[in-house]
Amino acid sequence: MTRCPHASATLAIGLATAGAFAQEAPNTISATQPSPDQWVLRTSARAWLFDGGAAAVARDGFVVEERFRLALGITKEFAAEVSLPLFQANFDDPTPQQSPFDPDRTGIGDLDLTFKWRVWKEDLGPVDTVRLAIIAGTEVPTATNDFGSRSFDPVAGAAFTGIFGRHGIGAALTWRFTTDDTEYPLFAGDSLADVLSLNVAHLYRISPAVFPEEHVGAWYLTTELLSTYETNGDYEVAFTPGILYEGPRWAFEAGVSVPIVRELEHRPTSSISGFIGLRFLF
Amino acid sequence: MSRMPCRLLLRAIAHASILSGSIVLGGCATTPVAADDADSRATMPVVADSAVIWVQGMSCPKCVTNVDLQIRRLPGVSNVAINMNAGTVAVTFDGINRPTHRELRGAVEDAGLSYLRAEYAQ
């Protein structure tokens, strides 16, 4: 897959599926999932702006990703998810030294197949809960037009979710065993090195302050730190604020992501990215 | 070493909040069924026309929908009303076919929530 930093975190998973639910942050894998025989469809659009820079691979341009994720609850503690991204890239003036490729290209990324197993749960009150899940999956080389690697890349990790009244916290740690690289790397994680992703999230329920008797939706402010470390020494950390509306059967999310620390070689410099997304439970 | 007292404290707080909810519901014409009684007849169909199930872990609107969908799949369930703040799921039954107590509990647990107990109307 094309391992975007923010999706690298979400990597194969993203159950935004992630599913299901419990105040799931947009980019941090949560320890929640759909219940048996229930589906969660999640679709999101994300755009990255690249501002060139002094590096030999510097280019100005943008990349747009449209990602579709479908999660299914298999048992009350086990869920599966498939995730497939579509990409469009537009770059100005590719430097002649680079391998020739179409600066305006469209293609499919690698498919991510992920399983999530909730191994621990402690419900502390009507709303409050803490949960831990382990994650395993693989990237499947379905990419076209060089929007992914050419290999199966296994992923393993764990996710924690805690809800305490109006506050929710989340953390997800994943490790990707990289077996092949991406020919034209763009993002953190697009290298032959193994990748450690550590994402942390905080959600604050803006409204309602107290859930009424009726079954209503809720608005949240989300704040995430998305970190990607490659075993070759490259890394990136992005600050990602956003907003999330979660209704009974659907949810809306939007936000921006700004790299605050980065050391990436052989890739153009991304300045900012923005995303919007929808989730449906059925 | 300190985990057990902490867990006991958390459970005590949770049960206290449930108790306060029970007092609010005291005016309803319900017949409380102790958890042990419910367990002993877990495989028997519910005969009451309504039930209030006490649940923990309903942390978001979609989580609530999870339990709503799971319970509505059971036979004889005509309505489900959820109060997240109180941690209650009110279920109304209709028709001859009814779910068993175990099925009700299973539906809650399949939704990823914790079942505490249920009270059934006469």
| A102-144 pLDDT, tens digit each | 678 899 999 999 999 999 999 999 999 999 999 999 999 999 8
Question: In the structure, what pLDDT confidence band is assigned to residue A2 with cuts at 50, 70 and 90?
Answer: very low
Average pLDDT over all residues of chain A: 86
Spatial separation of the C-alpha atoms in residues B86 and A194, rounded to whole Å: 46
Residue A225: other Cβ atoms inside 10 A:
19
First to last CA, chain A: 27
Nearest residue on chain A to B70, judged by CA atoms?
A35
pTM of the model: 0.81
| Residue A193 and residue A229 in contact, taking contact as beta carbons nearer than 8 Å | no
Q: Name, in order, each residue with C-beta under 8 angstroms of A262's C-beta and a sequence gap of 6 or more.
A: A188, A235, A236, A237
Number of Cβ atoms within 10 Å of the Cβ of A125 = 24
pLDDT tens digits, A69-89: 999 999 999 999 999 999 998
Closest CA to A79 of A130, A29, A140: A29
- State yes or no: pLDDT of A18 exceeds 50: no
- What number of other Cβ atoms are within 10 A of residue A271's Cβ? 14
Query: Which residues on adjacent β-strands are paired with residue B45?
Result: B100
Contact B70 A35 (CB under 8 A): yes
Contact B66 A213 (CB under 8 A): no
Q: Give percent of chain B with pLDDT exceeding 90.
A: 49
Contact status of B109 with chain A (Cβ, < 8 Å) = yes
A84 touches A111 (CB < 8 A): yes
| Residue B6 in contact with partner chain A when CB distance is under 8 A | no
Residues of B in contact with A211 (CB under 8 A): 83-85
Overall size of chain A counted in residues: 282
Phi and psi at residue A18, to the nearest 5°: -30, 15
Percent of chain A predicted with pLDDT > 90: 62
Please give the residue of chain A at the shortest CA–CA distance from B106: A76
Q: What are phi and psi of B10, to 5 degrees?
A: -60, -40
**pLDDT average, residue stretch A64-70:** 97
Q: What is the pLDDT at residue A198?
A: 98
A79: contact with B, CB 8 A cutoff: no
DSSP code at position B4: H
Q: Judge contact between A8 and A187, C-beta under 8 A.
A: yes
| Cβ within 8 Å, pair A248-B7 | no
Q: Does A35 touch chain B (CB under 8 A)?
A: yes
What's the pLDDT score for residue A132?
Answer: 97
Look up residue A21 and give its two tokens.
Answer: 């639910």
Q: Mean pLDDT across the stretch B89-109?
A: 94
Mark yes or no for CB contact A215/B82 under 8 Å. Answer: yes
Q: List the single residue in A35, A122, A124 with the smallest CB-CB distance to B111.
A: A35
Q: Which residues contact B37 (CB under 8 A, 6 or more apart)?
A: none
Identify from B65, B85, B116 which residue to disrupt to test chain A contact, counting A C-beta atoms within 10 A and taking the largest count: B65
Measured between beta carbons, the chain B residues lying within 8 angstroms of A210 are 85
Q: What is the mean pLDDT of residues A23-35?
A: 91
CA dihedral A279, A229, A196, A149 (to 10 degrees): 70
Q: Residue B74's pLDDT band (boundaries 50, 70, 90)?
A: very high
Report how far residue B22's alpha carbon sits from residue A34's, in angstroms, rounded to the nearest whole number. 30
* Residue B24, H or E segment: helix B3-25
Q: Determine the residue of chain B that is closest to A129 in CA distance.
A: B57
For position A19, what pLDDT does the model report? 33
Is the pLDDT at A250 greater than 50, yes or no? yes
Whether pLDDT at A38 is above 50 = yes
Instruction: List pLDDT tens digits, range A163-183.
Output: 999 999 999 999 999 998 777
Q: Which residues make beta-bridge pairs with A196?
A: A175, A229
Nearest CA-CA partner of A157 in A4, A15, A252: A15
Give A 3-22 residues with CB within 8 A of chain B.
Answer: 20-22
- Does the distance separating the beta carbons of A21 and B63 come in below 8 Å? yes
CA distance A51 to A71: 35
Half-sphere exposure at residue A129, Cβ-oriented, CA atoms within 13 angstroms: 27
Tens-digit pLDDT profile for residues B1-58: 344 454 544 444 444 443 333 333 333 334 444 444 456 678 888 889 999 999 999 9
